[in-house]
Structure 1
Amino acid sequence: MVAKRVLIFAGGTIDPDIIKEIRKDDMIIGADRGALFLVQHGIRPDLAVGDFDSVTPEELKLIQANSREMIACDAVNKDLTDTELAFDLAIERHASEVVMTGVVGTRLDHTLSNIQMMLRGMQHQITSAIWDAHNYVTLTGTSCIVEERGFKYVSLLPLTTEVTGIHLEGFIYPLDNATLKMGQSLGVSNRLKGDKGTVRIESGLLLIIQSKD
């Protein structure tokens, strides 16, 4: 199956409104408990993957009965998180874009791992994002358009030691050939002037975090 966009629903907190964003030609992957969320909301995952250690035997049967394909792995003898397993499958199935939800939660280690996973997407020429009720996160090494999406703030954080040649257009606080270094808060809590803005950089990797509060 060749997918234009892959949506990964992981086992963290998921905003049910995300379901409204599903397109007809999207490929839907449920990672562990994320697959249960989909089934419980009337969505048939194209693929359910994980060790399923966070669901009951009855819930697992429900996932099996309502998923088009299922790949289960051992909860002990595995080296990857369920979300990374899902991301790898998205790469294998020729995704051009991957959007992850349910990947930000109380486990900071998992959250940071999922943010860094977007770098793997970039290495495979895949646009990737993290989307939940409070944040929309993307990563760029060149340029991108930032759409308002109902998020009030836009923060720019380096994912490399420094990011140089930063140009912002369409923002309340513009930047022209600026440099951001790790540990600096200069890029936090900017705002768009209108519906969209442009971010361009010359070197480094830049996280773009849109947030509501």
Structure 2
Amino acid sequence: MAEKRVLIFAGGNMSPVYLEEIRPNDLIIGADRGALFLVEHGIDPHISVGDFDSITQDELDKVRSASGEIITCDPVNKDLTDTELAYVIALDHQATEIVMMGVTGTRLDHTLANIQIMLRGLQHQIQSAICDTHNYITLTGSTSVIQDRGFTYVSLLPLTPEVTGISLTGFKYPLENATLRMGQSLGISNQLVEQEGTIRIESGLLLIIQSRD
């Protein structure tokens, strides 16, 4: 299957620097206020989705005119967040990689839900990532190669009660066949010592968070 990367721009903390992630063949989805962000920065979303309860009617008209397709839903009678709706659309379009921006911010409940959404991609063998100005977050259940993206730290946090058989290469603090359990901080604030590092695990789900202050 040909590679198909999908970028989702949502309504959380946004920055024009995120636009630098866009590549010529990316499918661009704007979720609610994220669609307006794209339009206001000269990017026409291929798909805009959401209840659009966070923008005015004039702003929604701008989004409608700029979007290749718009999918609306009722702001009350819906089971999914706007970000999850966008993620489902990305899966329906047979994405091979999904990068989400504007999905972190002051609402910790939304941030945690968006981190957990990546599990759905992993179940379909699709790599997902969350990107903001201070973090780049991915999820692995096997092997992951981490590129140096200019972040200071790489932290490992279990998303299951325990993650076993963790082995690291290319890091300041290597691990060999280690186990991380929820509530432990052993995996916090490691650092790459090469341009890329490799993380291997035998069981469980591991969050990989590249971060800077």
Shorter-normalised TM range? over 0.9
Query: 1:3–1:95: 8 Å Cα contact kept in structure 2?
Result: yes
Give CA-to-partner distance per residue, 1:110-169, whole Å, 9 cap, x none.
Answer: 000000000001111111000010000000000010111011100000000000000000
In structure 1, what residue type is equivalent to 2:113? S
Q: In 2, distance between residues paired with 1:117 and 1:37?
A: 22
Q: In 1, distance between residues paired with 2:152 and 2:15?
A: 18
Query: TM-score, normalising length from structure 2?
Result: 0.98
Is 1:19–2:29 an aligned residue pair? no
Name the residue aligned to 1:127. 127
Which sections of structure 2, spanning at least 5 residues, go unmatched? none
Cα distance, 1:183 vs structure 2? 0.3
Cα distance, 1:21 vs structure 2? 1.6
Is 1:173–2:173 an aligned residue pair? yes
In structure 1, what residue type is equivalent to 2:41? H
Identity %: 67
Is 1:89–2:95 an aligned residue pair? no
Query: 1:3–1:94: 8 Å Cα contact kept in structure 2?
Result: no
Q: In 2, distance between residues paired with 1:24 and 1:197?
A: 28
Name the residue aligned to 2:151. 151
Name the residue aligned to 1:116. 116
In structure 2, what residue type is equivalent to 1:19? L
Match of 2:114, SS state, is helix
Name the residue aligned to 1:68. 68
Give CA-to-partner distance per residue, 1:40-64, whole Å, 9 cap, x none.
Answer: 0000000000000000111000000
In structure 2, what residue type is equivalent to 1:124? H
Cα distance, 1:14 vs structure 2? 1.3
Cα distance, 1:15 vs structure 2? 2.1
Q: In 2, distance between residues paired with 1:81 and 1:212?
A: 28
Query: 1:3–1:93: 8 Å Cα contact kept in structure 2?
Result: no
In structure 1, what residue type is equivalent to 2:44? R
In structure 1, what residue type is equivalent to 2:186? L
Match of 2:6, SS state, is strand
In structure 2, what residue type is equivalent to 1:103? V
Q: In 2, distance between residues paired with 1:49 and 1:152?
A: 34
Query: 1:168–1:198: 8 Å Cα contact kept in structure 2?
Result: yes
Rate the CA distance shift 1:33–1:3 in 2: closer, same or farther, 3 A.
Answer: farther
Query: 1:158–1:205: 8 Å Cα contact kept in structure 2?
Result: yes
Which sections of structure 1, spanning at least 5 residues, go unmatched? none
Match of 2:8, SS state, is strand
Name the residue aligned to 1:197. 197
Equivalenced residues, count: 212
Query: Could you say what the CA RMSD is over the residues aligned between the two structures, in angstroms?
Result: 0.9
In structure 1, what residue type is equivalent to 2:11? G
Q: In 1, distance between residues paired with 2:186 and 2:180?
A: 7
Cα distance, 1:3 vs structure 2? 6.8
